[in-house]
Amino acid sequence: MNYQVEISESIEYLRQLERATKDLKARDRVRFIGLLKIGKATTQAQAGALVGLQVRQSQRLWKQYREGGLSAMCQSNYGGGQAKLSPVEQEQLRRRLRGDDIGTLEQARRYLKEEFAVDYT
């Protein structure tokens, strides 16, 4: 595959975007495309290895680029984990922490386990 032709963005634009991007994952994704564009990597696997990706991750990244361009490739889909405490429980914990009876992390962990049956390690 001729990546120099397939990748529509100029190398100057890719370098500028790479320098301006604060999100490390997005910056590595732009770098991945740049390595293919300049020919430093001749395969997706090589470009991926240079930015710390496995072969399958590199293939998925290239597919994202082909289907949606840089913007699709650089957006983060991570939504975070599920909260262990409800908003009401979180407020109850805050009120308790403002008091004087919880002074250590271990005391807070014990309180969470006893009061809400939630384990934090």
DSSP, collapsed to helix, strand or coil, labels residue 7 as coil
Q: Please check whether residues 65 and 106 belong to one and the same domain.
A: no
Q: Please check whether residues 15 and 60 belong to one and the same domain.
A: yes
pLDDT digits (tens, 9 = 90+) for 3-35: 999 999 999 999 999 999 888 999 999 999 999
Q: Tell me: pLDDT of 2 over 90.
A: yes
The verdict on residue 79 lying in a domain is no
Which domain, by its residues, includes 24?
3-74
Per-residue pLDDT, 110? 92
What's the average model confidence in pLDDT over 32-60?
A: 96
pLDDT digits (tens, 9 = 90+) for 75-116: 766 667 788 888 899 999 999 988 888 889 999 999 999 999
Q: Please check whether residues 36 and 91 belong to one and the same domain.
A: no
Length of the chain as a residue count: 121
Compute the 3-state secondary structure of the chain and give helix, strand, coil in percent, each to the nearest 5: 65, 0, 35
Residue 55, token pair as written in the block = 């072969």
> For the chain, how many structural domains are there in total?
2
